[in-house]
Structure 1
Amino acid sequence: MSENQGLSLRERTRNAIRDQIAQVAIVMFDEQGFDETTVDQIAVAVGISSRSFFRYFGAKEDVILGDPMIYGEPVRASLAENIGTMPIWDAMRAAFGPVVARTEEDPDWTLRATRVMISTPTLRARNTEKHLAWLKVLEPLVADALKGSDNTRIFQARAITLAALTCLDVTSAEWVRRDGAVGNGQLLDEAFAFLKPVALTA
């Protein structure tokens, strides 16, 4: 996979083991429930010790939602590239391309993970924290592309960015509700089309 390019053999091996643990854990979370599944159960299923689990994940929650900027940085980079060449709202949609690509890469696994996240209050809270982290890096890019006073640009940029992140959340919930019958990218396109503000199409 491209994410392993440039990594040492040791790092690639670590990533492969981490992915293996995550694959098993996600299925268990989805079938048994997140809170009902213990680290000990995951470790037994994978064939490692519980201590070894924590070499790869700081907490059980990290299997679903780890470093918020793993995808936040590609989203930021995409927005930075596109925001000067297309309408702001369209640039926001394009920025989520890396997120959609991840769902298409392994839709079954991602659907399971999303279903677990939506159905678990602690994970939903962590997902909100993730989006707040994204807000901090996306909002300044949007503000720089707007006109008006500093206060006006910051206010509008926050409204636009949070609306876009809400589209992402609503799409994830709808994707799960339809059990993946309609593509995540198609649903995200529809959500953005519903809210496309006339003022940002020029």
Structure 2
Amino acid sequence: MTTRHDRPEATTGPIWERTRRRVREEITDVALALFLDQGFENTTVDQVVAAAGISRRSFFRYFGTKEDIVFGDLAEQGPVILAALEARPDDEPVWTALRHAFAVLNAQVAPRRGLAIARLVATSPALRAAHLEKHLRWQEQLAPEVERRLGDGDAPPGLRGQAVVATALACLDAATAVWLDRGGKGGIEELERLYDQALTTVRDS
């Protein structure tokens, strides 16, 4: 659902860390504007660094790849989601627990950034591939905890956990697609409502 892009600037931590965060945010803003205007594949790192007024060497101090500009540290949020899931009561329905766990991502991205990222992913094969890889990593990390919560069953070990998490992620993608079609109206709150509706549809079918 979303990265740390566009969050209010932190006022704690070493000054070098705050400076680094500001520079990273400025590069991201410049890059996203270029991606939306020219297309992700058609925009080069050289164009980004020229528009941002930095060197290639400086760019790669902040981003490992061009895809990292779009996703930020979102791909690494699997452990954060897992910790949120593990903190939910054991007797809570698994779909509800997952819904609350994924909600931790909402604080990571502002609606304007979330909409821009959704548009880029929808139009870029490279970003769709990176998005799928991110979800597969999340699925691998979350499935064992979901399997534990489901208890014993007749299915082969691991199957139900993988299936539930994959379905929850598919619901998130479906909600994001509809939110994007509607122009991101209603912000993150509307995206959450659409996600709830998607999960309810699957759960009650």
Q: TM-score, normalized by length of structure 1?
A: 0.87
- Match 1:64 to one of 56, 70, 75: 70
Q: Which has the larger displacement, 53-62 or 41-50? A: 41-50
Deviation, 1:25, is: 0.7
The size of the alignment, in residue pairs, is 196
In the TM superposition, residue 101 of structure 1 has moved relative to its aligned partner by 3.2
Q: Match for residue 29 of structure 1?
A: 35
Counterparts of 1:97 and 1:45 in 2: how far apart (Å)?
34
3-state DSSP of counterpart to 1:96 = helix
CA offset digits 1:118-138 (Å, max 9, x no partner): 210111111111111111111
Inter-partner Cα distance in structure 1 for 2:40 and 2:112? 17
Q: Please say if 1:171 is aligned against 2:175.
A: yes
The residue aligned with 1:148 is 152
CA deviation after TM superposition for structure 1 residue 51, in Å = 2.4
- In the TM superposition, what whole-angstrom CA distance separates every residue of 1:126-159 from its partner, at most 9, and x where no partner exists? 1111111111111011111122258545211111
Among residues 170, 179, 191, which one is paired with 1:184 in the alignment? 191
Out of 107, 115, 118, the residue aligned to residue 114 of structure 1 is 118
Give the secondary structure class of the aligned counterpart of 2:87: helix
CA RMSD of aligned residues (A): 2.2
Q: How does 1:36-47 map to 2 (within 5 A)?
A: 36-47=42-53
Gap change, CA 1:83 and 1:132, over 3 Å in 2: farther
5+ residue gaps, structure 1? none
Equivalent residues of 2:140, 2:162 under 8 A apart: no
Does residue 75 of the first structure (1) align with residue 81 of the second (2)? yes
Select the structure that is richer in helix: 1
Give the distance between the partners of 2:55 and 2:140, measured in 1 at CA: 38
Q: Please tell me whether the aligned partners of residues 143 and 156 of structure 1 are also in contact (alpha carbons under 8 angstroms).
A: yes
Contact 1:83 1:142 in 2 (8 A): no
1:43/1:50 contact within 8 Å kept: yes
Cα deviation per residue 1:57-105 (whole Å; 9 max; x = unaligned)?
A: 11111111244554322211111111514111111111110223334xx
The answer as to whether partners of 1:68 and 1:133 remain within 8 angstroms in 2 is no
Identity %: 38
How far apart in 2 are the matches of 1:47 and 1:194? 48
Q: What is the TM-score normalised by the length of structure 2?
A: 0.86
In 2: Cα distance, 1:109 partner to 1:2 partner: 13
Amino acid at match of 2:44: T
Alpha-carbon distance in 2 for matches of 1:92, 1:153: 20
**Matched residue type, 1:100:** N
1:138 to 139, 142, 161: 142
The verdict on how the C-alpha distance between 1:3 and 1:98 changes in structure 2, with shifts beyond 3 A counting, is farther
Instruction: Kindly provide the amino acid, as one letter, of the partner of residue 195 in structure 1.
Output: V
Gaps of 5+ in 2: 1-6
Deviations 1:165-196 (A, max 9, x none): 11111122221111101421111111111111
Rounded Cα–Cα distance in structure 2 between residues aligned with 1:71 and 1:5: 22
